[in-house]
């Protein structure tokens, strides 16, 4: 179905009597902006701008909902409605369906009313976005409190069971995790530190979680300090709002118990080794 341009015009009996507004004049001004392109005209004559229950406006909204209109021209927002809330409601409704709304009176945006209109549009848009984000975050937190893992976090040693929404052990990867921890505690003669472990895994053609052939020392270090391996998986740990990532306060973290791969005593020994390496690197 081909989509059309629409012109919407409105005048109340009072406006016509006091100010000489006319439907033909509004249509003419809109048509001048449109040029030679054909347009459907929707006109409410003698109808107050205080209500949205207007025959022509309701017909225009039905056609927009049906996907028949892709662009609307109107003299200025006052013709849509005398109420700012209604103006905002209509523009939000139409733009959500991909319909472009054009006001012929280009100077409207420079008036106090125009400035307020566009400022409120932006503010309400941001409010709606923030409200949706908060609703989604609240839903994710509630799922986490129920002990459900929100998504596949790609943790080496585990697979994500989507039906149960839980982490389950990947036996092949879990064996590698155990090797890494034991190499850290009791390294073979040819493996020195975290870099040596990463090099050995690369030489043995062990793929990373994402299928890469090369292991980086930072990936190994993160695995050596990941408490998930002792059965403590935390959600709601990172705040990714405002286009940045920061660690939330510890009391906001949500613990999700999961099957352990590493014994807690082995994990503790490794943390002591990592701590001593950090001290030595600073000295």
pLDDT class for 163, splitting at 50, 70, 90? very high
At residue 247, the 3 state secondary structure works out as strand
Q: Which tops the pLDDT comparison, 167 or 115?
A: 167
Instruction: Provide the pLDDT for residue 133.
Output: 72
Instruction: For residue 73, give its domain range.
Output: 4-125
Residue 22 belongs to domain with CATH number: 3.40.50.1390
Lowest mean pLDDT among 30-39, 113-122, 220-229: 113-122
- Are residues 181 and 112 part of one domain? no
Q: What is the mean pLDDT of residues 11-18?
A: 68
- Are residues 276 and 158 part of one domain? yes
- Are residues 166 and 275 part of one domain? yes
Assigned domain for 241 exists: yes
At residue 3, the 3 state secondary structure works out as coil
Domain count, the chain: 2
Highest mean pLDDT out of 79-83, 101-105, 167-171 = 167-171
Q: Which tops the pLDDT comparison, 16 or 119?
A: 119
- Are residues 162 and 117 part of one domain? no
pLDDT at 283 over 50: no
Assigned domain for 141 exists: no
pLDDT at 250 over 50: yes
Residue 246 belongs to domain with CATH number: 3.90.1750.20
Return d(Cα 134, Cα 142) in angstroms, integer. 12
| Cβ(76)–Cβ(103) below 8 Å | yes
Assigned domain for 196 exists: yes
- Are residues 163 and 67 part of one domain? no
- Are residues 151 and 118 part of one domain? no
Q: Which two tokens stand for residue 43?
A: 């006109």
Assigned domain for 180 exists: yes
Q: What is the mean pLDDT of residues 104-127?
A: 68
- Are residues 35 and 119 part of one domain? yes
Q: What is the mean pLDDT of residues 234-257?
A: 86
- Are residues 161 and 277 part of one domain? yes
- Are residues 38 and 154 part of one domain? no
Q: Which tops the pLDDT comparison, 113 or 282?
A: 113
Q: Which tops the pLDDT comparison, 114 or 206?
A: 206
Return d(Cα 216, Cα 195) in angstroms, integer. 8
Q: What is the mean pLDDT of residues 225-234?
A: 96
pLDDT class for 178, splitting at 50, 70, 90? very high
Instruction: Provide the pLDDT for residue 226.
Output: 96
Instruction: Provide the pLDDT for residue 137.
Output: 78
pLDDT class for 108, splitting at 50, 70, 90? low
- Are residues 106 and 18 part of one domain? yes
Q: What is the mean pLDDT of residues 39-61?
A: 91
Assigned domain for 142 exists: no
- Are residues 157 and 264 part of one domain? yes
| Cβ(11)–Cβ(45) below 8 Å | yes
At residue 63, the 3 state secondary structure works out as helix
Q: For tokens 């012109």, what's the residue?
A: 7
Return d(Cα 235, Cα 33) in angstroms, integer. 54
Given 94, 125, 156, the domain boundary residue is 125
Assigned domain for 152 exists: yes
- Are residues 211 and 168 part of one domain? yes
Given 125, 156, 180, the domain boundary residue is 125
Given 125, 158, 193, the domain boundary residue is 125
Task: Respond yes or no: is residue 12 known to be catalytic.
Answer: yes
Assigned domain for 211 exists: yes
Assigned domain for 30 exists: yes
pLDDT at 126 over 50: yes
Q: Which is catalytic among the residues 12, 81, 96, 225?
A: 12
């Amino acid at each position: 179905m081909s989509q059309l341009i629409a012109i919407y015009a409105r005048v109340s009996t009072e406006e016509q009597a006091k100010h000489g507004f006319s439907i033909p004049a509004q249509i003419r001004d809109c048509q001048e902006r449109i040029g030679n392109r054909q347009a459907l005209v929707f006109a409410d004559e003698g109808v107050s701008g205080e209500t949205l229950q207007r025959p022509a406006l309701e017909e225009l909204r039905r056609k927009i909902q049906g996907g028949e209109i892709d662009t609307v021209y109107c003299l200025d927002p006052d013709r849509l409605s005398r109420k700012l809330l209604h103006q905002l409601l209509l523009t939000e409704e139409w733009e959500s369906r991909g319909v472009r709304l054009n006001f012929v009176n280009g100077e409207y945006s420079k008036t106090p009313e125009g400035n307020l209109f566009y400022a409120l549009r932006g503010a309400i848009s941001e409010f709606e976005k923030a409200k949706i984000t908060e609703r989604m975050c609240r839903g994710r937190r509630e799922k986490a409190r129920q002990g459900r893992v929100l998504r596949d976090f790609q943790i080496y040693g585990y697979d994500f069971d989507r039906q149960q929404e839980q982490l389950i052990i990947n036996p092949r990867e879990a064996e590698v995790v155990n090797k890494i921890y034991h190499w850290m505690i009791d390294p073979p003669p040819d493996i020195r530190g975290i870099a040596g472990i990463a090099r050995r895994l690369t030489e043995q053609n062990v793929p990373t979680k994402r299928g890469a052939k090369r292991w980086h020392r930072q990936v190994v270090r993160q695995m050596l300090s990941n408490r998930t391996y002792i059965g403590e998986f935390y959600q709601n740990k990172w705040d990714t709002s405002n286009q940045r990532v920061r660690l939330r306060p510890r009391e906001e973290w949500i613990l999700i118990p999961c099957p352990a791969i590493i014994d807690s005593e082995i994990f503790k020994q490794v943390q002591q080794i990592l701590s001593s390496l950090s001290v030595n690197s600073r000295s």
